[in-house]
Amino acid sequence: MAEQPRMRRARHEIIMEILKNAQDGKKKTALMYKSSLSFTQLEHYLNALNEAGFIAEKAGIWKTTQKGIYVIEACEICIRLTKEVK
């Protein structure tokens, strides 16, 4: 049986995945593999998320901030609500 091609992820899905994976603190390499991103892609998202205050780096460890946790919660509410639309 042939593997089905992987669908492109939306930007918000990638952001959510990074923020969720970094909740306990992770190094860049671990985030890259857990989020299935190239190093260049990860760098782009980490810079944007850091500038927005959703994630922060300390001693090589990236961790989701409280503001980032609010983003996760808000996105999960939106996902739940949109699943109700038929």
Percent of the chain with pLDDT over 70: 93
pLDDT at 1 > cutoff 60: no
Q: What is the largest CA-CA distance in the chain?
A: 47
Q: Residue ranges of the domains in the chain?
A: 11-83
Where does the pLDDT of residue 24 fall: very low under 50, low under 70, confident under 90, or very high at 90 and above?
Answer: very high
Q: 4-8, 65-69, 77-81 — which one is most confidently predicted on average?
A: 65-69
pLDDT of residue 18: 98
pLDDT at 6 > cutoff 60: yes
d(CA 5, CA 56): 34
pTM for the whole thing? 0.86
pLDDT at 16 > cutoff 90: yes
Considering the domain 11-83 in this protein, what is its CATH number?
1.10.10.10
Q: Residues 6 or more apart from 5 whose CB is under 8 A from it?
A: none
